Amino acid sequence: MNHTICDVNGFEQFTKAIIEIAYGAEKPSIMPVWRRELLCETNPPRVRCIHHEYDQLPLDNKSLFKPYHSSFFFGPKEIHALRCCLPGHLAESSTTFDVLTACLWRCRTAALQWQNPNQEVRLLSIVNARRNSRFNPPLPKGFYGNAIVFPAAVSTVGKICGSPLSYVLELVKKAKSEVSEEYFHSVVDLLAINGRACFTRTGSFVVSDLSRTGFRDANYGWGKPLYSGLAKAGFGDILGVSFYVPHTNSKGEHGTVVPICLPEEAMVRFEEELNEILNFEDGKEESVTILRSNI
């Protein structure tokens, strides 16, 4: 997959097209649409929003490390435990993605043990232009190009680790709520002005929700996949990226698998932080870890 050609929705569209052809269709039911001019920069380009996700900061040893990989399963029991940590109104009004993201960001921040409590950290959650009518008119059906942005929630290590989970959750929700059609075009113009700079990696944790993609139902003729997501966290040499993959565990529970990449010693602390939030005790509950491999 080449991310300069398509995003996950475009790749899913391609996958479905191949399946349809494999079953005898003469052409895909949804024809591909190029139309890249819809997301080109304006003339002249003009940045209209604040984009902390593109603040250029020097890399530190928390962003560059020998990777150690684990994956964690979150089913109904785990998500219920997280919601019990929140005030009633937030527990009811927040999506599973928001609640889970807040939990993981807090655990990861604590596990990395920055010495400076004023160290700035970011949560970048990938938002797609196709969803929730963010464009008016919407992008045409069949558009398979990149239509994603990474709005940043920004705070400090001290605040993230010293505040209740509700504080972190509010940051996540606020960052996502600020994404509009204007925000998308502002990002495009920013990249045009700054030479397509990468998002900041220092102190950043990036999450991408694949739970609503149709890959788990992809059937080329010999059955559905046993697993339908990335094998490990990270994206190339960018280690602080995790993906939310739909999965059914050995008990038949439907939930989400999240690959995590950290230094090995930090992974131990991450699991401890996670189990503390979930109120799991060693020996009394099944571990949330379902796969561990030092790749």
242 CB-side CA count, 13 A: 24
SS3 assignment, position 20: helix
Say which of 132, 194, 219, 294 is annotated catalytic. Answer: 219
Distance CA 291, CA 260 (A): 10
The verdict on whether 2 is a catalytic residue reads no
* Catalytic residue list contains 275: no
Distance CA 80, CA 68 (A): 28
Where residue 280 falls (left for φ over 0; alpha for ψ -120 to 50; beta otherwise) is: beta
Give the contacts of 207 (CB within 8 A, at least 6 positions apart).
Answer: 101, 104, 123, 124, 125, 126, 241, 242, 243, 244
CA distance 258 to 253: 15
> What span, in angstroms and rounded, lies between the C-alpha atoms of 33 and 229?
25
Instruction: Spell out where 39-183 has E strands.
Output: 68-74, 120-125, 127-128, 148-149, 152-156
DSSP H or E run through 290: strand 289-293
Which entry of 3, 194, 249, 279 is annotated as an active-site residue? 3
By annotation, the residues acting in catalysis are 3, 219
